[in-house]
Amino acid sequence: MRYVLIVLWMLFCSVTSALAQVSVGIGIGMPGVSIGINLPVYPQLVRVPGYPVYYAPRLQANFFFYDGLYWVYQSDRWYASSWYNGPWGLVAPEYVPVYVLRVPVRYYRSPPGYFRGWRPDAPPRWGQHWGPEWEQRRSGWEQWSRRSVPAPAPLPAYQRQYSGDRYPQAEQDQRALHSQRYRYQPREAVVRQHYQERALQPGPAPDQGGKRGTPEERRARQDEQRSSPSPRQQGAPADARSGPPQEAGRREHRAPASRQDDHQQGRGAAQEPRRDKGREKERDKDKGDERGKDR
């Protein structure tokens, strides 16, 4: 019986180790790990000066927030979660974001024993701790320019109202609340993978200039657009009204010509009597000459 128990214990340890390796290999393991953090309220988070990372100064834990996720370093392992009380997913050391790794030693509120002797204003010596293979894979993690530091992600402050008994324990409820209340888009590939695997996609953007809104408002706008005339219909009356002025303009344009013709005709009529009188004078003169010759 004793040998049977020993064999079963060895099989259980091997299966547990294999599952842990699988969860580590994909970056952030599926949530469900309990790491002993049970906060009664939302923790106070303060930004690390010069870093896009927050830390919890009042907690006796290495508790950070970066790029939309909470990060905890405990028992020589990194964990991440989208909610401040977990559940937590195990993160492989080669996938931890560099800005989390660069946080100086002094901001670890519960540093492990091997941190002793390390400079408090410098990041932990991860290469020394995790070995040359890790250091080769994460080459250059210590080299960065403070001028190119990205802006920190906004804190998910909506979680302050979920404490104690109100804290959502079901992962489905956490996903729904996070998608509706937190609209940040992560930069890190490992965080984006975490969002995709848990379907933590942001909800619809807020109403912008009336283009969106409630379904009732959208229906009202659609009905208004259907009932309002189209631009072509709106322009039709204007085109119809534009006809008479043009015709009137044509008549006004022709009117001076007709008056001019009438004036010319009147002048010709006035000149005809003058011509007749001249002809009569010429005829009288001719008759007088003829009478003179007869005499």
pLDDT number for residue 88: 93
- CA distance linking residue 178 with residue 182, whole number of Å: 5
Which DSSP helix (H) or strand (E) runs through 263?
A: helix 231-294
Is 78 part of any domain? yes
pLDDT number for residue 32: 62
**95, 142, 67, 137: CA torsion to nearest 10:** -20
Domain interval for residue 186? 2-197
pLDDT beneath 70: ranges in the chain: 1-33, 199-295
Q: Which residues contact 178 (CB under 8 A, 6 or more apart)?
A: 82, 83, 156, 200
Q: Which residues contact 32 (CB under 8 A, 6 or more apart)?
A: 87, 89
From residue 107, alpha-carbon distances to 45, 70, 178, 191 in Å are 12, 15, 27, 22
The single-letter DSSP state of residue 39 is -
Is 237 part of any domain? no
Q: Which amino acid, one-letter code, is at 294?
A: D
Is 263 part of any domain? no
Which DSSP helix (H) or strand (E) runs through 11?
A: helix 2-25
Is 11 part of any domain? yes
Q: What is the pLDDT of residues 235-249, one digit of tens each?
A: 444 444 444 444 444
Is 82 part of any domain? yes
Q: Quick one: how far is CA 239 from the chain centroid?
A: 43
Q: What is the pLDDT of residues 30-88, one digit of tens each?
A: 556 678 889 999 999 999 999 999 999 999 999 999 999 999 999 999 999 999 999 99
pLDDT number for residue 46: 98
Is 266 part of any domain? no
Structure pTM? Answer: 0.60
* β partners of residue 79: 72, 90
Half-sphere exposure of 162 (CA within 13 A, CB side): 17
Is 12 part of any domain? yes
pLDDT number for residue 281: 59
Closest-CA residue to 133 (of 165, 168, 92, 105): 92
**Total count of domains within the chain:** 1
Is 187 part of any domain? yes
